[in-house]
Homo-oligomer: A and B are copies of this chain.
Amino acid sequence: MKTLLEIADILKSKNCIYILTHQYPDGDTLGSAYALCRALQLIEKKCKVLCHDPIPSKFCFMNEYVKQEDFDPEYIISTDVADIKLLGEKLLIYSDKINMCIDHHMSNNSYADITFVDAMSAATAEIIYEIIQNMGMPIDEETASCLYVGISTDTGCFKYSNTTAKTHKIAYELINKNINLAKINSELFEKKSKEALSVEYMVYNTLEYFFRGKCAVIKLMQSMLNSAGISDNELEGIASIPRQIDGVKIGITIREKKSNLFKISVRTTEDINAIEICKIFGGGGHPRTGGCNIEGEFEEVKEKLLKTVKNKCGW
């Protein structure tokens, strides 16, 4: 694998760069892409961010930190995209043209010409921070804000087990760039719409326990979203609900994406590897947080998951 300095040098030598995020974008894929885009634009590179989906409203402020002009790409980078399929349909035209992938997913399957993966980083944004530093460039307030979005969202605001001393050290350095910390935190972690609250309420009602309370499953259906008048990507915290409960070692969230297609989030405690469960269904992720897609009816999907859990955990 190349060093951070080599990655930085390559980036400095390129121009007309597209930066691709994963579909259903979260704070890390977006924060990483926008931070890198702004840093490259600050040294007069043509650069733009592309995403298959609309940007969730709480992340839209980052749009203002970059110029999004039209040009043909000479170099294509993906940030926080562990598998080429995760780009989403609209970006699949670039699938065999990715020159560089910067990621922190252990399950990354090296689809790019150059892959830089550091699975010890709590967020891809931590790596982007180090790359920008290795480029010898100052980090301005806007770049720092984007990086903070990536780092804070992927660590659940510094509470998940991927958080390290380094995470806090970088946060300290970013906050010192004068970012509006209170406002960003309030937007990302405090604000909840009445609609989101009512969906959470419905989801709590679907909570089921299995294997004597060691596994908890919640369900989020499109009909719930419709009745509350809210879209799926405004509901990031949902997947952390089931594992929170005392005694639960595996928390599973089954979200209906469309008829007969479910997106699964698996959150585990220390002794269980979420990747092992998700890869059975072609997914991946991190040891404590994994994801995959499964086709079928809800009950069928749930049974498949529970069978896999039973096998993997010997319950």
Residues of A within 8 A of B (CB): 152, 157-161, 163-166, 168-169, 171-172, 175-176, 181-182, 185-186, 189-194, 197, 201, 204, 240, 243-246, 269-270
Contact = CB atoms under 8 A, between A and B. Distances in A.
A171 B166 CA distance: 10
B244 A190 contact: yes
Given A168-B168, A168-B172, A163 B181 contact: yes
Contacts of A166: 172
Given A191-B246, A193-B245, A182 B161 contact: yes
Given A160-B185, A204-B201, A243 B190 contact: yes
A36 to B, nearest CB: 22
23 contacts: A152-B158, A157-B157, A157-B159, A159-B189, A161-B182, A161-B185, A161-B186, A163-B181, A165-B172, A168-B172, A182-B270, A186-B269, A190-B240, A190-B243, A190-B244, A191-B244, A191-B245, A191-B246, A192-B246, A193-B245, A194-B245, A197-B204, A201-B204
Contacts of A161: 181-182, 185-186
A192 B159 contact: no
Nearest to A288: B182
A253 B164 CA distance: 34
Contacts of A164: 175, 181
Instruction: Give the interface SS of chain A, mostly helix, strand, loop or mixed.
Output: helix
Contact of A193 (B158, B176, B246): B246
A176 B165 contact: yes
Contact of A172 (B169, B244, B245): B169
Contacts of A158: 152, 157-158, 171, 185
A244 to B, nearest CB: 5
A246 B197 CA distance: 10
A193 B165 CA distance: 28
A148 to B, nearest CB: 10
Given A191-B246, A244-B190, A159 B175 contact: no
Nearest to A246: B193
A144 B137 CA distance: 34
Given A157-B157, A157-B159, A246-B192, A175 B165 contact: yes
A163 B244 CA distance: 24
